[in-house]
Amino acid sequence: MTDVTQLGKNGKFFVIAGPCVIEGTDFLLKAAQTIKGIADEFGVSLVFKSSYDKANRTSVKGFRGPGLKKGLADLALIKKKFNIPVLTDIHEIDEVKPASKVADVLQIPAFLSRQTSLLLEAAKHGKVVNVKKAQFMAPWEMANVVDKMKSAGRPNIWLTERGTVFGYNNLVVDFRGIPEMQKTGCPVIFDGTHSVQQPAAKGTSSGGTREHVPVLTRAAVAAGVDGLFLEVHPDPPNAKSDAATQITFETFRQILKDSLAIRKALKK
């Protein structure tokens, strides 16, 4: 299995990919098999992601997932069957310990990236922690997040750019944020799918412009990002979460192809 602590270091480009939320065991198995096959096709290290609980849905009626126990069991199955590391979101302090027994990477959602107690607890369990930059934070503010976590030990930390609030129901990406966050010494990831999100734009759910995902990911790779984060679904328009922003398997394949071509060109 890939050593996640080495990803993003010494030019080791990687991708975090998977469906937004677990929509069932069989669904997850099929998605993981296809996504792993595509990553292997290009020789790109994969961290498979999916959430057991989407705790910040726009509406109370939004599908949240199978919950902690069942969701972690599904992720453990993926990890064992396909021999790939897995990532999942954590939202509460009491989720950290059970999640760390399964997940190779613990993810702090953007809305929680300033929650000191959650950051400190996540840093204590010896796992890589991926912190998504909040939509309301400047890139250089992430240095404070890193300092908080390092105060709890010497954790492996990743930082993820996912867009910044731009008026109501819209996000914009400032690619200067990538080198700014890299000043912390942490690998920096670009979240291509959440960066095109239009939060709560549909009233009871978020909208988005998935057609712009390839453009933004190409720009991020050209800007020198260490890895990509992409939510991938077999049928994005009918996904139970983030239906407007998840991408197809074929788009995922094309993004990896383009990303490697850009990185090769930059080396020249």
Alpha carbon distance 158, 166 (integer Å): 24
Whole-Å CA distances, 112 to 2, 41, 186, 232, 237: 28, 35, 19, 23, 27
Alpha carbon distance 166, 218 (integer Å): 21
- Do the Cβ atoms of 212 and 198 come closer than 8 Å? no
Alpha carbon distance 138, 40 (integer Å): 35
> At residue 97, what is the residue type?
K
Per-residue pLDDT of the chain (268 residues; tens, 9 = 90+): 999 999 998 889 999 999 999 999 999 999 999 999 999 999 999 999 999 998 876 778 778 889 999 999 999 999 999 999 999 999 999 999 999 999 999 999 999 999 999 999 999 998 999 999 999 999 999 999 999 999 998 779 999 999 999 999 999 999 999 999 999 999 999 999 999 999 877 787 788 999 999 999 999 999 999 999 999 999 999 999 999 999 999 999 999 999 999 999 998 8
Question: Cα 78 from chain centroid?
Answer: 17
Please check whether the domain covering 14-267 is classified as CATH 3.20.20.70.
yes
DSSP bridge partners of 161:
190
- Do the Cβ atoms of 43 and 55 come closer than 8 Å? no
DSSP result, 60-128:
TTS---S-HHHHHHHHHHHHHHHT--EEEE--SHHHHHHHHTT-SEEEE-GGGTT-HHHHHHHHTTSSE
Alpha carbon distance 152, 147 (integer Å): 9
The pLDDT value given to residue 7: 96
The pLDDT value given to residue 59: 75
Task: Give just the sign of the alpha carbon dihedral 262, 263, 264, 268.
Answer: positive
DSSP bridge partners of 58:
none
* pLDDT tens figures, 186-234: 999 999 999 999 987 778 778 899 999 999 999 999 999 999 999 999 9
The pLDDT value given to residue 94: 97
Alpha carbon distance 28, 18 (integer Å): 9
What ranges do the domains of the chain cover? 14-267
Whole-Å CA distances, 100 to 76, 96, 129, 202: 11, 6, 10, 35
